[in-house]
Amino acid sequence: MSVELLKGVTGVLVLADGTVYQGFGAGAVGDTLGEVCFNTAMTGYQEILTDPSYMDQIVTFTFPHVGNVGVNAEDVEQLGSDPKNAAKGAIFRDAPTPPANWRSELSFNEWLVSRGIVALSGIDTRALTRRIREKGMPHGVIAHDPEGKFDIPALQKKAADWAGLVGLDLAKDATVAESAAYTTKQWTWAEGFKSNDGGDFNVVVIDYGVKQNILRALNDVGARIKIVPAKTSAEDILALKPDGVLLSNGPGDPAATGEYAVPEIKKIVASGVPVFGICLGHQLLALALGAKTLKMEQGHHGANHPVKDITTSKVEIVSMNHGFAVDRDSLPEGVVETHVSLFDGTNCGIALANAPVFSVQHHPEASPGPIDSLYLFERFADNIRKARVPA
């Protein structure tokens, strides 16, 4: 395999089929391997790149200008500090611009370097996005070398040899090591992040790679939160006497994570405790209820996805980030489809017909994205209040 590199090239993206995109390296020097997807959000690059759901993925930003608001310590979405438990790489059309925002604490490129994220700019992101739409999300390697020295055949082999996300349990790496409380509420313009000093009910969050804004949104509706690791048993969870259980978002193949998660979720559902699942949590709940999941060709990644809430006939614009989906044709009797994507008709929500159990594929907490679906946290809180037995 012979590829002639253009003069001045300091970064490349090499796909498993041998396709090479040449541009300019950004962020950390070195190379990184992952599944290449595209995200259509116009804002929130820091939140996107710190979302644990993007583990082992390289994010192509379709919006051409990235970096103008810099980064800060407050807009990190992952709970832990290990940058490996989030996006592996990033691709932009234009080189990251200097920050011009009052909340900025560091330039975007400096932040990429500090997290070890290898990035690439200067390529035709429209062409790459079109390729993903037509052929699916490829395996690829981004390499950044200031001297422009690349072993293209070796990079192509590395991409081709990678097994990919199917069958891969990443939640075990993204989850917290031990149980912990969480009291921060959502950011407001006048006061920033405030602490939840009380709460009306107890929620256990099973952490498969949870985003912090999910936890903040729960605090906003009156929860007292206890986060537990992904492999926590149902017995240990129910011993905490939760008024509700939230199944969080996270990375990887739900069928792989489901090997240990599904039996415990079945027990939690059987206990009668209200349950709310988000993204991976939605897929795991579906598996526990008897449905199946499947790998998507291009996935849904962005902040402009139209979803219809069948229970209200309302159409919402939502944030999404998933490469697997619930097979709507596999939903068993008693499981009701509540939300559907208006882009491609895929399932985006389910509920048990006669129990306070529901889940959605999209991200009602946004961060980044619209807040059309924040009401789902209130729906969860209402389920909890109705289910509670007076003392």
CATH number of residue 56's parent domain? 3.50.30.20
Q: How many domains does the chain have?
A: 2
175 in a structural domain: yes
Q: Which domain holds residue 37?
A: 11-161
Residues 240 and 366 in one domain: yes
Residue 389's pLDDT is 60
**pLDDT confidence band for 268 (50 / 70 / 90):** very high
**Is 63's pLDDT higher than 90?**
yes
pLDDT level of residue 201 (50, 70, 90 thresholds): very high
Whether 337 is catalytic is no
In a domain, 4, yes or no: no
Residues 66 and 208 both lie in one domain: no
Q: Are residues 253 and 178 in the same domain?
A: yes
279 is catalytic: yes
The verdict on 121 and 189 lying in the same domain is: no
Q: To the nearest whole percent, how much of the chain has pLDDT over 90? A: 94
Here the CATH number for the domain that contains residue 358 is: 3.40.50.880
Residues 204 and 65 placed together within one structural domain of the fold: no
Please report whether residue 2 resides in a domain: no
Same domain, 212 and 152: no
pLDDT band at 191 (very low <50, low <70, confident <90, very high): confident
Looking at 161, 195, 211, the residue that finishes a domain is 161
Check 37, 264, 279, 362 and give the catalytic one.
279
Q: Which of 115, 130, 161 is the last residue of a domain?
A: 161
* pLDDT, mean of residues 275-303: 98
148 and 201 in a single domain? The answer is no
Say if residue 197 is in the same domain as residue 335: yes
User: Does the residue 166 lie in any domain?
Assistant: no
The overall pTM is greater than 0.95: yes
Q: Which of 300, 301, 362, 363 is catalytic?
A: 363
In a domain, 285, yes or no: yes
Same domain, 218 and 113: no
Using the predicted structure, report yes or no on whether residue 261 has a pLDDT greater than 90. Answer: yes
* pLDDT above 70: residue 1: no
325-349 per-position pLDDT tens digit: 999 999 999 999 999 999 999 999 9
Q: Is residue 1 part of a domain?
A: no
The whole-chain average pLDDT of the chain stands at 96
Q: How confident is the model at residue 390 (pLDDT cuts 50, 70, 90)?
A: low
- Verify that 157 and 241 share a domain, yes or no: no
Mean pLDDT across 119-134: 98
Q: Of 128, 161, 194, at which residue does a domain stop?
A: 161
Q: Do 166 and 253 meet the contact criterion of CB atoms below 8 Å apart?
A: yes
- 236 and 305 housed in the same domain: yes
Residue 6: inside a domain: no
> How big is the chain by its Cα radius of gyration, in Å?
21
Domain assignment present for residue 100? The answer is: yes
381 plus 281 within the same structural domain: yes
pLDDT bracket for residue 198 (50, 70, 90): confident
